[in-house]
Amino acid sequence: MIFSFKKGVFLATMLILSFTLFVGCPKESRETVELPPDATGTAVRGDAIVEQPTTRSWDARGPVESRPSTGEIPKVSEGAFETVYFDFDKYNLRPDAIEAVQRNMQAMKQNDTIKILIEGHCDERGTNEYNMALGMRRANTCKSYFIANGIDSSRISIISYGEERPVDQNHSESAWTKNRRAEFLVVSK
Amino acid sequence: MSLFIKKFRIFLAAICLTAPIIITVFAQEILQDEPRIAGVITEGRERIRLGLPPFEIKKDDPKLETSSGELRNILIADLKTSGIFNLIPEERYAWIEHSVNGSPNFEGWISVEAESLVTGSMDLADGKLVFEGRVFDTKSKQMRIGRRYRGEPDQLKLIAHTFANEIVRQFTGKKGFFNTSIVFVSDRTKHKELYISDFDGTNMTQITNLKSIVLFPSISPDKKTIYFTSFHEGMPRIFKVSSTAGGGLQPLKDSVNGDITPAVSPDGKKIAFSSSRPGNSEIYVMDMQSGELDRLTYHFGIDATPAWSPNGKSIIFTSDRSGMPNLYITDEKGLETTRLTYELQYCDHADWSPDGDRIVFTGRKQGYFNVFVKDLRNEDIYQLTINSRNNEDPSWSPDGRKIIFSSDKTGLYQLYLMNADGSDQRQITNSGNNTDPRWSK
Q: What is the CATH number of the domain that holds A127?
A: 3.30.1330.60
Q: pLDDT digits over B10-69, tens only? A: 888 777 777 766 665 554 444 445 555 444 344 456 889 999 999 999 999 999 999 999
Domain for residue A10, yes or no? no
- Paired with A36 in beta bridges are none
First to last CA, chain A: 79
The nearest alpha carbon in chain A to B275 belongs to A133
Contact call for A11 and B24, based on CB within 8 A: no
Whether the pLDDT of residue A18 is over 90: the answer is no
How much is the pTM? 0.79
pLDDT in tens, A120-166: 999 999 999 999 999 999 999 999 999 999 999 999 999 999 999 99
What's the domain range around A179?
53-188
Cβ-nearest to A72 among B234, B260, B365? B234
Residues of A in contact with B436 (CB under 8 A): 128
Q: A-chain residues within 8 Å CB-CB of B349?
A: 127, 129
CA of A23, closest CA in chain B: separation in Å?
Answer: 8
- Residue to substitute from A67, A117, A136, interface B, most B β-carbons within 10 A: A136
User: Does some domain include residue A138?
Assistant: yes
Q: What is the ipTM of this complex?
A: 0.85
Count of CB pairs separated by less than 8 Å, A with B: 130
What is each CA distance from B391 to B341, B361, B369, B375, B413, in whole angstroms? 18, 10, 5, 19, 9
| CATH ID of B181-439, from 1.10.1060.10, 1.10.10.60, 2.120.10.30, 3.40.50.300 | 2.120.10.30
| Residue A30 resides in a domain | no
Closest by alpha carbon to B48, among B88, B3, B93, B95? B88
- Torsion of the alpha carbons at B264, B270, B275 and B280, rounded to the nearest 10: -120
Domain ranges of chain B: 48-172, 181-439
Angle between helices A128-148 and A95-110 (to 10 degrees): 60
Partner B contacted by A11 (CB < 8 A)? yes
* Architecture of the domain spanning B48-172: 3-Layer(aba) Sandwich (3.40)
Please tell me the total count of domains within chain A: 1
Q: What is the dihedral of CA B39, B44, B49, B52, to 10 degrees?
A: -50
Provide the shortest C-alpha distance from residue A15 to chain B (in Å): 6
Give A44-77 pLDDT, tens digit per residue.
333 332 333 333 222 333 222 233 344 444 444 4
Please indicate whether, in this complex, the C-beta atoms of B9 and A3 are within 8 angstroms of each other.
Answer: yes
Using the predicted structure, report yes or no on whether residue A113 has a pLDDT greater than 80: yes
